[in-house]
Structure 1
Amino acid sequence: MSKQSQSMRLDRYLATVTDYSRSEAKRLIKDGEVTVDGETVSNVGYAINNNSDVCLQGQVLRQAGPRYFMLNKPQGYVCAAKDRRHLTVLDLLDEDNPERLHAAGRLDVDTTGLVLLTDDGQWSHAITSPQRDCWKRYYVEVAEVISEKCIEHFARGVFLKDDKARTLPAELEILAPRRALLRLKEGRYHQVKRMFAAEGNAVTLLHREAIGDVELDESLAEGQYRALSEAEIKSVNHG
């Protein structure tokens, strides 16, 4: 994914990174209120790329192109744009137009850990599609002692309540009688909790540590986030 390959019309970019509508953005451009790389541009269809420096009325706007962030999600937040009962992960961001971002692989309201946020739909599809083999790793604590048989059952796939097909093969590593790591590449509704429920156990704590090769940054406290590195972004597309 080369930054140079990303381009966008100037009027669309302006409407994307500000609260102006597309028609308002066109008017601002035609009125000479926008500069690109220090030069006033009045062509609304002017193509900019990720490296373009765009200013509106002298104020620098963020770079064009898709955005990629990792967030250490606390309990009590949902991975949605809006929710009537809970705060959303977007409420934790200090970014322009956060509503244009979405979670690439959601977590339940009481699950903590790594959430990837982006406005690049193709990139997030590479994470959420089971066909792409993007594994997710979870740290799990449960109410009852974990049976060794769970390793074999999860590797074979289990039937979840109300689902007609087995889960895809998953890897379970038992760390202690009631603690384990679980790697899986699906994202069914409440999947980890339902997998342990199928074995007669109940999840008491669930924390996502990694998505593909992207590991949760240990320096991020709960509720904090940072931009992904170029290597982390590319690891998803090429993983």
Structure 2
Amino acid sequence: MHEEPTQIAIRLNKYLASCGIGSRRKCDELIKKGNVVVNGKVCTDLATSVTEDDFVKIGNTRVLPRDTSTIMLNKPKGLVCTKSDELERETIYELLPPNMRHLNHVGRLDRDSEGLLIMTNDGNLAQELSHPGKKVEKEYLVTVNQAFSNDVLDQFLNGIWTGEAKAYAKAVKRLSPRRFLIVLETGLKRQIRLMCKAAHLNVVKLVRIRVGHLTLGGLDAGRFSELQYDDLELMMRNPKLDRSYKTKHSIQKTRGSAAKKKTAKSRPKSTQRSQKSYKRKR
């Protein structure tokens, strides 16, 4: 006798999130307010579990899980971001099971680069992550072949000519004589390598460590993790950078302060004394 496959029950908030309703926290609020109907009855119990056979509605509209999937992959060095390589080099798709090889990479990391790579079959998500107007940050840990001055980081912030275009960083942070963090909002092809080359530096190691607010966490190289709705929300939000990062604004502010100090020091002492006595008389 043929048995029907058992349906897996999941928490109602997770089910709603998989339907694209919002984060699990937002879905919990909808449940508490009585906006969710399960099999014809209003459900306000956060502990409720459902399967795909249950009839779930928000208001008067039935909601169903999306057929989309998104993962983050910790790409190792030596693999190329393509489904088939004419040079027969190893590709990132060899790290995925057959049922996930239909996913497309969002942007790319070149063969010698490592780190966080988003892969999805959700076209809208891919477009939002890639669109310059969305300004989703990508942060990289860079190691170069020699020590460099802070002037190099200032050049990256103010814009450096790469030979084809002027490339900019949103923020930078020195970690050691040869290592720094760099935050980009746009992604020109091989942008960081070209920026470093323009500053007479060669990149030894390049690792993407963050997209939006999303980081690799403890994900090992060569492994992947499926992203939930909460993760997608994190990815579309940029964190607030702390003061240890340099930005173009901070450079201008520092230079402005230095110019004021220089002006004050260069003022003749007699002028400074006369101004003080004038204030006392008033």
Per the normalisation by structure 1, the TM-score is 0.71
Q: What amino acid sits opposite 1:222 in the alignment? A: A
Distance, in Å, in 1 between the alignment partners of 2:20 and 2:116 is: 28
How far apart are 1:152 and its partner, in Å? Answer: 1.5
* Equivalent in the alignment of 1:160: 162
How far apart are 1:71 and its partner, in Å? Answer: 0.7
From 123, 128, 131, give the equivalent of 1:129: 131
Q: Aligned Cα RMSD in Å?
A: 2.4
How far apart are 1:237 and its partner, in Å? Answer: 4.2
CA contact (8 A) 1:159 1:167 kept: yes
- After superposition, where does 1:132-151 map in structure 2 within 5 Å? 132-151=134-153
Distance, in Å, in 1 between the alignment partners of 2:63 and 2:97 is: 24
Distance, in Å, in 2 between the alignment partners of 1:170 and 1:194 is: 16
Q: Which has the higher helix share?
A: 2
In the alignment, structure 1 residue 94 sits paired with structure 2 residue 97: yes
How far apart are 1:2 and its partner, in Å? Answer: 5.3
Q: 1:183 to 1:38 in 2, by over 3 A?
A: closer
Percent sequence identity is 26
CA contact (8 A) 1:136 1:185 kept: yes
* Equivalent in the alignment of 2:19: 4
* Equivalent in the alignment of 1:13: none
Distance, in Å, in 1 between the alignment partners of 2:67 and 2:171 is: 36
Deviation track 1:116-160 (CA, whole Å, cap 9, x = no partner) reads: 110011111222222211111111100121220122211111111
Q: What amino acid sits opposite 1:227 in the alignment? A: E
Number of residues paired by the alignment? 186
Distance, in Å, in 2 between the alignment partners of 1:212 and 1:160 is: 25
CA contact (8 A) 2:212 2:237 kept: no
- State the SS of the aligned residue for 1:140: strand
Q: 1:134 to 1:150 in 2, by over 3 A?
A: same
- After superposition, where does 1:51-200 map in structure 2 within 5 Å? 64-85=66-87, 86-98=89-101, 100-163=102-165, 166-200=166-200
* Equivalent in the alignment of 1:204: 204
* Equivalent in the alignment of 2:279: none
Q: Which has the higher strand share?
A: 1
Distance, in Å, in 2 between the alignment partners of 1:77 and 1:167 is: 26
- State the SS of the aligned residue for 1:78: coil
Distance, in Å, in 1 between the alignment partners of 2:181 and 2:168 is: 16
Specify the structure having the higher radius of gyration (Cα): 2
Uncovered stretches (5+) of structure 2, i.e. residues with no partner = 1-15, 22-50, 55-61, 239-282
Deviation track 1:48-92 (CA, whole Å, cap 9, x = no partner) reads: 931xxxxxxxxxxxxx52111011101111111211232221211
Uncovered stretches (5+) of structure 1, i.e. residues with no partner = 7-35, 40-46, 51-63
